């Protein structure tokens, strides 16, 4: 069987779960697709998962209310071993990429990370993923009784839910004690569309001048376009913007239809998070900035003049 670990947030099945289901359906394996839902009070999530899988296993307990790498990897490895899963698909989210290596070690399995394609050729899994700060596409293969795979967000078309619900089963899990004690958290939620799901992303860098400038220019343009807001590491480090908006090597990777970079010079680490965007637009005062080397459209000029003029033009 193929096991997919269905992520969810705020009582809803995540987009990644639909993408995992789609990746799983593309593999020629017998035994169908089993979805595993872990959490506390996840009946509605499990019901949604039942429309994209052939079988749903539900681990629903207070101990699973909050994610933990050791707890999650133990649960997933147990279910994979008991069900003799041949492929375990996990979302390429921060948490997915954090606990999946532990699952691979527990199962003595190879790990394919953040794949954007996945094929089965005679029992061998073939995949592609980015390397060298997303500048290179590497083709890899793994052959083993079980292979653990994390799937890149947005790489697979989401599966369309069926009309008949698959059967659900509760599972008993042997969970370890949490050792990383979370003592506080700052959730960063905005009313805007999620960065990695947006068709248009407007991102700002130091070149916008001030936190107020960021709000006026970057948020202003994003609101006008119905776009998500992104930021550079420098802007996040300076405390102007929350980490959840960071695009780049240590932040999110996005590939929207249009990426509009405002006052961003284009450090390699930032480019690695957005260089696969279909159309890149740059507005920056320095015509020699690296961002212009990968831009489709752009203006060399003062962002404080150009962006308000664009907002005005869009309002027409």
Partner 1 sequence: MRILTLIRQVLDAEESVRVRNGAVELEGSKLVMDTMDEYGVEEALRLREAGAEAEIVAVSVGPARAEEALRTALAMGADRGIHVVTDVSLDAIALSAVMAQIAKAEGAELIFCGGQEADWDSQALGAATAERLGWPQATWTSALELKGSTLVGKHEADEGSESFEVVLPAVVTTQQGLNEPRYPTLPNIMKSKKKEIRKETLEAYGAAPKVKVNGVEIQVKERLKKILDGKDAAGAAAQLVKMLREDAGVIA
Residues 139-158 that bind partner 1 (CB under 8 A): 139-142, 144
Type and span of the H or E element at 303: helix 303-315
CB of 209 to partner 1, least distance (A): 16
Length of the chain: 316
Q: Give me the 20-59 binding string for partner 1, x by CB under 8 A, dash otherwise.
A: ----------------------------------------
- Residue pair 234/205 in contact by the 8 Å Cβ criterion: yes
Instruction: Look at residues 95, 64, 94, 97 and name the one whose alpha carbon lies nearest to residue 78.
Output: 64
- Residue pair 99/93 in contact by the 8 Å Cβ criterion: no
Type and span of the H or E element at 44: helix 43-49
Using rule CB under 8 A, residue 94 touches partner 1: yes
**Is the CB of 212 or the CB of 302 nearer to partner 1?**
302
CA 48 and chain centroid, separation: 20
Residue with tokens 């596409």: 137
Task: Report the residue from 105, 145, 197, 211 that binds partner 1 according to the rule CB under 8 A.
Answer: 105
Using rule CB under 8 A, residue 70 touches partner 1: yes
CA 58 and chain centroid, separation: 23
CA 149, 37, 87: angle at the middle one, nearest 5? Answer: 25
The SS3 call for residue 53 is coil
Report how far residue 28's alpha carbon sits from residue 281's, in angstroms, rounded to the nearest whole number.
41
Q: Which stretch binds partner 1 (CB under 8 A): 28-36, 161-169, 212-220, 272-280?
A: 272-280
CB of 138 to partner 1, least distance (A): 5
Task: Report the residue from 101, 158, 161, 220 that binds partner 1 according to the rule CB under 8 A.
Answer: 101
Q: Which stretch binds partner 1 (CB under 8 A): 25-33, 45-53, 62-70, 155-163?
A: 62-70
Instruction: Look at residues 271, 269, 265, 270 and name the one whose alpha carbon lies nearest to residue 283.
Output: 265
Using rule CB under 8 A, residue 238 touches partner 1: no
CB of 72 to partner 1, least distance (A): 11
Using rule CB under 8 A, residue 171 touches partner 1: no
Q: Are strands 87-91 and 8-9 parallel, antiparallel or unpaired?
A: unpaired
Using rule CB under 8 A, residue 16 touches partner 1: no
Task: Report the residue from 12, 28, 119, 135 that binds partner 1 according to the rule CB under 8 A.
Answer: 135
Task: Report the residue from 38, 129, 154, 156 that binds partner 1 according to the rule CB under 8 A.
Answer: 129
Q: Give me the 184-223 binding string for partner 1, x by CB under 8 A, dash otherwise.
A: xxxxxx---------xx-----------------------
Residue with tokens 């490895």: 77
DSSP state of 40: S
**Is the CB of 141 or the CB of 212 nearer to partner 1?**
141
Using rule CB under 8 A, residue 305 touches partner 1: yes
CA 55 and chain centroid, separation: 24
Binding residues for partner 1 restricted to 247-266, rule: CB under 8 A: 249-250, 257-258
Binding residues for partner 1 restricted to 108-127, rule: CB under 8 A: 109-114, 126
Using rule CB under 8 A, residue 137 touches partner 1: yes
The SS3 call for residue 170 is strand
């Amino acid at each position: 069987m193929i096991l997919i670990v269905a992520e969810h947030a705020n009582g809803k099945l995540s987009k990644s779960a639909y993408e995992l289901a789609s990746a799983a359906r593309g593999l020629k394996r017998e035994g169908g697709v089993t979805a595993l839902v872990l959490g506390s009070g996840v009946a509605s999530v499990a019901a949604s998962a039942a429309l994209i899988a052939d079988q749903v296993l539900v681990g629903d307990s207070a101990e699973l209310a909050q994610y933990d790498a050791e707890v999650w990897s133990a649960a997933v490895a147990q279910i994979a071993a008991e069900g003799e899963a041949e492929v375990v698909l996990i979302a390429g989210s921060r948490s997915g990429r954090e606990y999946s290596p532990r699952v691979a070690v527990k199962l003595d399995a190879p790990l394919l990370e953040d794949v954007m394609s996945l094929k089965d050729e005679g029992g061998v899994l073939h995949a592609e993923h980015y390397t060298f700060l997303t500048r290179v596409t590497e083709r890899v293969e793994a052959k083993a009784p079980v292979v653990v795979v994390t799937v890149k967000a947005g790489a697979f078309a989401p599966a369309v839910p069926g009309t008949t619900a698959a059967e659900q089963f509760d599972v008993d899990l042997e969970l370890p004690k949490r050792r990383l004690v979370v003592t506080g958290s700052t959730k960063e939620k905005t009313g805007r569309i999620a960065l990695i799901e947006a068709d248009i992303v407007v991102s700002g860098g130091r070149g916008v001048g001030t936190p107020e400038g960021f709000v006026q220019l970057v948020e202003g343009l994003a609101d006008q376009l119905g776009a998500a807001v992104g930021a550079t590491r420098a802007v996040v480090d300076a405390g102007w913007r929350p980490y959840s908006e960071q695009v780049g090597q240590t932040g999110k990777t996005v590939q929207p239809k249009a990426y509009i970079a405002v006052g961003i010079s284009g450090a390699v680490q930032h480019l690695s998070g957005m260089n696969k965007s279909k159309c890149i637009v740059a507005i920056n005062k320095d015509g020699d900035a690296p961002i212009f080397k990968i831009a489709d459209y752009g203006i060399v000029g003062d962002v404080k003049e150009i962006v308000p003029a664009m907002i005005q033009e869009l309002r027409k």
